[in-house]
Every structure is written in structure tokens, then in C-alpha cells.
Chains A and B, each alone.
Chain A
Amino acid sequence: MSVFKFPESIRSRPVYGILEPRPGRSHLMIADCEGAEAILDLAAQASDLMANTHIIFIPNGTLFGPKLQELNPAQYYEGPSFAAALSRIQRVLSDAVMGLQIYLTGTEGMMGQAQNEAMQAGYDYTAIQTEHRGSVARRMQCVHCKGITEDVIIDPFECSHCGLNLFVRDHYSRRIAAFQGVCIDAEDPGNVPASVELYS
């Protein structure tokens, strides 16, 4: 099951919707992992979009690639990681003209980083559609050393840079595209509760 309903939280926490077809001159769809399913759902509603669609997909071990290609988008790219796809995404955005619709779907970390790229290209983030699919693991920033730890699925967790024990907050930074992790045992070093899986 790739759909997860996040409980309500603080305002800082991003909320996601369900991708819907919108009028546009061209369409950029960026997905990772199970996000592919959201694109397949979208294409089922509006197959005519595909003639002007550029799909950028990061499978991360999933096997959706061929299905996405069967949609016959104007352009299709598959990359092994977000970092690998990044220069492609930046190039597409820098060449884009208004009338472009942007659809992001998959993990929060991928959507956040892709949204950030679109924002830097001057595209208002409120106009970007997002739909969460798949893992609820998060991209976390350590507020102490500023290092980023990807794919955090337990709380608390150990910062992969400075080693502090970090509490997973819902406090989010759009600019950094990461949630904030705060030292959980600063007052009483070593007193760290057992980690639990996020949303378990």
C-alpha cells in the first residue's frame, strides 16, 4: 500500500494532495519509487497530457520504469538517485517557460528537494502539485552541525555527521528541504529513549 495518511501536525509540516491534471503548455512530472503509481493514476484520468509531458523517475529499486514508459511521454528519463537526476531537473527548469505544470510524487525527501529546485527557478511553491507515496522516511537536518541525514525512519536517530542523538521534529525548512532534528539528550547526556519507527 503506497498511500499513507499523515496525522495533523504543526503548520510547518508540509501537507500533500492528490495530483490532478491541470491545463498547461507542458508538464514536468518527477517521481521516485511508488510515486510512479500516482503518475499512472494521473495518466489514467488524462492520457492526453502525456504528449507534452517530461517524466523524470528515480526507481530506487522499484520496477515501475517500463509502465511509465508505456505511457509514452514526450520525454522520459530514469536516474539512479536524486543527485544523479538533479542536473537534468535544473536544465529542464531553466529552459522552461510559463505554462509549465509541475507534479511531484513519491517520498517527502525527493519532493522537498525538487520543490526547492522549482522555487529557485522562480516558480511559486504553492503552484506545485505534490502527492506523497511510499516510504514515510524523512530527510533530516541536524540543527547543531547542519548535516543532512537522508532516509531517517526511526526516532530518535543518530546524526550521520556529528553523532548526536536527534529527536525527529515536524518542523520543516522549505529552503533546506528537510525536517529539523534536535538533540534529545542535551540536558542529560546518554539518557536516550529507545528508537521507534516513524508513525508506528
Chain B
Amino acid sequence: MTAPAPNSTAPKSIGAEKIKVIVSAIVPLNNLVTRFEFKRIDGYQFPTFSGGAHTVVEMQDGDLKRSNPYSLMSDPAETETYAISVRRDDQGRGGSLFLHQKVQVGATMTLSSPVNLFSLDLRARKHLFVAGGIGITPFMAQIKQLDAVHGNWELHYSCRSPELGSYVDELCAKHAHSVNIYYDDKKQSIDLENLLDGQPIGTHLYVCGPKGMIDWVRRSAASAGWPDAHVHHEEFLAPQPGKPFAVRLAKSGLSVEVGEHESLLEAIERLGVEPPYLCRGGACGQCETDVLESEGIFIHRDHWLEDDEKSSGIKIMPCVSRFDGKILVLDR
């Protein structure tokens, strides 16, 4: 059995292809992190994916529709169930709170087809993973993918405390020799300098976690002479809430007020316009939009635009960036 053909209306981007699912299990892992498992409603199988892929989860919270990307952490070859693990963010826009508090087993939801912006380089002789906190999720899928082909990998995973160490037990039980755990509250930390020294040629380094950790790992690798092409990172950039602002879409001839807890991209989608996107996290570049007119200050949050593009005021990444001012006209 294969997945059905996509809907007749051609999707704008891969990420726009939708799968209707039912929440089949909700498993709290600890105080902060809960796993959500999904099955397809139409009885077909999910597409297989590659480790590191994410899915965009649509959440209808009253009038508000949020779409947040989460790494798939189930086995990439498993086509009956998809799973994500979500860390509750009490400061965020409410996407994770919605999942944690309002979603129940049996609820129907919509996921996007998987998109991978953090894939393994399968030419690697060895995969060296560095994870911080909830940044473990893409590695859960990558480890399963590599295990299926007896790949060579090693994980260094740093967590706040044993209580908050999601999947530590499972990882250690299965892979005692490949997994190294570090607890902040025990003053344990990754000895990065030594870790990077002596890795066999052909090793690829992957890091996922808080921004500080990603910067630290990338900087250390670069100064130790690791080529960029061997260093991969994924930063979880959730859109941040902010002051509401108005935007006019020149092509569609529509105007909308972007709410405090909604991203510019979500506000545009609310109008029925379907702009392109993949990551919804400021990393992939898909949603890049031309600014036709503006009066005010851009709040750029993406990792995509170059600094000069950011200051030029002629481009914006609506998935994560906002605006503070009187006039904003976009080429949409």
C-alpha cells in the first residue's frame, strides 16, 4: 500500500502537502517534555522519511491557527506511526502549551509531509552527534536510521538534570557504548576540545540544541580546522510573540493585522493566501518575501538573510520575523 496521490490542487511547496492524522498516544516523559504519536485517518501509510526531518503541525486553537515545525523522532522506516516530542515552553506563543494542555488522544490534526533540512551526510565515515536538551529529537530518528545499516555513530547529549533527560534511559539501554550523557546539575559538560581532536577523517559533526551550544560547537570546530561541509546544525527557531502590526499584500490586494501570538506567515495564510514555506523556523529560505514599501523597523529573526539584506529593508522572512511601524507592503 502506498500513500495516496496528493490533493488535486498543486501544492505551493513540499511543506504544503498535508496529512490528516489522529492523535494515537500522548506519553509524558518528564515535567517538560511529552511525546505525541499520530496515525493517518485515511488508513494509508505515512511516507518514510530521513532522520532529521521535521513535520509542520497545524494547531487550531480557537480562532487562532498555529503551524509549528517539530522534528520527527520515530523510526524513519516506520510507516504506521509518526512521533514528535514537544518541550513545554511557558514563554512561547502557546503552540507547545496548546499541545500539552488542549490536545487529547483521539483528536484530529493536520501534519505536513516531512521535510529534511538536517539530514545525515551518508558519505560520512562516522557521525558525531552533539545534542542539548530537546535538541535530542532529530538524533533519535537518525540513530534508528543508522542502526538499520550498522552505521558508525556516537552521541554526546547534555541535559539539565536526570529528571529532565528525555530518552536518556532508552538510549543508554540500547547503546551503552555509543551514548555519553552530561548533566548540568552535576556540573558535567562536554569536553569539546578533546572530542573534536582525533576524530577519524570523514567524520561529520551534527549539533542540535540551544543557540549558545550550536554557536560554541560550530566555532570550536572551525578553529580546530573542521571544514564547514562536515559540520551540520539545526536550531529550533520558534516564531516569537510580539506587538501586533498591519501588513498589506500588494498582489492579493488584501490587508491583515498580525496578532500578538501569530506569525506574519500565519496571518497571511489566514487570509487564504498560500505563500511558500518549508521550515517555518527561519532557516530554509523558502518564505523569503520582497518588501515593496515600509515605514518602521524590521525585527528580523531568521538565519537566512545576509546582514546587508536585513538592513536593506527590502526582504523579510515572514515565518519568524516581525515588523514595528506604520506601513508594510509585501509582494504577495
User: Which A residues contact B (CB, under 8 angstroms)?
Assistant: 22-25, 93-94, 96-101, 121-124, 126-127
Contacts and interface: CB of A to CB of B under 8 A. Distances in A.
Contacts of A121: 125, 201-202
Given A23-B222, A98-B196, A122 B227 contact: no
A95 to B, nearest CB: 8
Given A97-B198, A99-B196, A121-B202, A24 B230 contact: no
B94 to A, nearest CB: 41
Contacts of B225: 22-25, 98-101
A122 B222 contact: no
Contacts of B201: 93-94, 96-98, 100, 121-123
Contact of B197 (A22, A23, A96, A97): A97
B224 A122 contact: no
A98 B230 contact: yes
Interface of B: 123-125, 196-203, 222-230
B226 A124 contact: no
Contact of B199 (A24, A97, A101, A124): A97
A126 B229 contact: yes
Q: Which 10 A-B pairs have the closest CB atoms?
A: A122-B202, A127-B227, A24-B225, A124-B229, A99-B225, A122-B125, A96-B201, A98-B199, A99-B224, A126-B229
B328 to A, nearest CB: 38
Contact of B203 (A98, A126, A127): A98
B276 to A, nearest CB: 26
A127 B229 contact: yes
A2 to B, nearest CB: 27
22 contacts: A23-B223, A24-B225, A25-B225, A93-B201, A96-B201, A97-B198, A97-B199, A98-B201, A98-B203, A98-B225, A98-B230, A99-B197, A99-B224, A99-B226, A100-B201, A101-B225, A122-B123, A122-B124, A123-B202, A124-B123, A127-B228, A127-B229
A96 B201 CA distance: 6
Contacts of B197: 25, 97, 99
Contacts of A25: 197, 224-225
Nearest to A27: B225
Contacts of A23: 222-225
Contact of B226 (A93, A94, A98, A126): A98
A117 to B, nearest CB: 11
Contacts of A100: 201, 225
A98 B230 CA distance: 9
Contacts of B196: 98-99
Contacts of B200: 96-98, 122
A93 B200 CA distance: 10
Nearest to B199: A98
A101 B226 CA distance: 8
A190 B79 CA distance: 60
B230 to A, nearest CB: 6
